[in-house]
Amino acid sequence: MGTDVKVLLPTDTLRAAAEKLAQHGVGGMPVVDASGAIQGVLTEYDILEALKTQHKTLKMLMPPQISFGISFVEVLEDREAAKAFAEIGDRPVGEVMSKDVAAIGADDAVEHAIQLMVKRKVHRLPVVERGKVVGVVTRGDILRGFFRSLPQ
């Protein structure tokens, strides 16, 4: 478990959060309030989910294909990723983060962490004591721990 936990605040912008994720080379961070209580988790996936590079528009069909009115169809249009990110960059983390947090306690068995990661399809779990984040355990942490324990 890593105990030098980097966290985000719900009021941080997605732009600042993306920079912090990149700076620390991690794919997600716990989101905590001012007292350190866990509020959610923000992952790269959450940012990409908010970053819609496609959007739908309505287009009127001419001439109408129905005889008694005007017909519309939805058209999916691609947008440039940079433009899409510029539009969401100032949104607060709290609007995009996953609020249904899978977390473990510091004394939980590694087997519980593995089961939770597999069941919830997550790569990292905040380690929480009394509602506050005290660490993060990743899939890599678990695998490294197993390989260290194998006889040479």
Q: How many C-beta atoms surround the C-beta of residue 132 within 10 A?
A: 16
* Domain membership flag for residue 15: no
The pLDDT value given to residue 54: 46
Q: Which residue has the tokens 């779990």?
A: 125
pLDDT of residue 145: 74
Which tens digits make up the pLDDT trace of 18-77? Answer: 999 999 988 899 999 998 899 999 998 888 888 764 455 555 555 555 555 555 555 545
111-141 pLDDT, tens digit per residue, is 999 999 999 989 889 999 988 999 999 888 8
Least Cα distance to 28 among 97, 99, 120 occurs for 97
**Is residue 72 in a domain?**
yes
Q: Is 129 part of a structural domain of the chain?
A: no
Domain containing 59 equals: 54-82
Nearest 5°: the CA angle 119, 131, 117 is 15
pLDDT tens-digit series, residues 1-14: 556 788 999 999 99
- 74 within a domain of the structure (yes/no): yes
117 is a domain residue: no
Residue 61 lies in a domain: yes
pLDDT computed for residue 74 by the predictor: 53
SS3 95: helix
- Distance between CA atoms of 62 and 33, rounded to whole angstroms? 53
Q: How many domains does the chain have?
A: 1
In a domain, 109, yes or no: no
pLDDT attached to residue 7: 93
The model's pTM is: 0.73
Which of residues 110 and 68 earns the better pLDDT score? 110
More confidently predicted of 36 and 151? 36
Q: How much is the pLDDT for 41?
A: 93
Q: Is residue 69 part of a domain?
A: yes
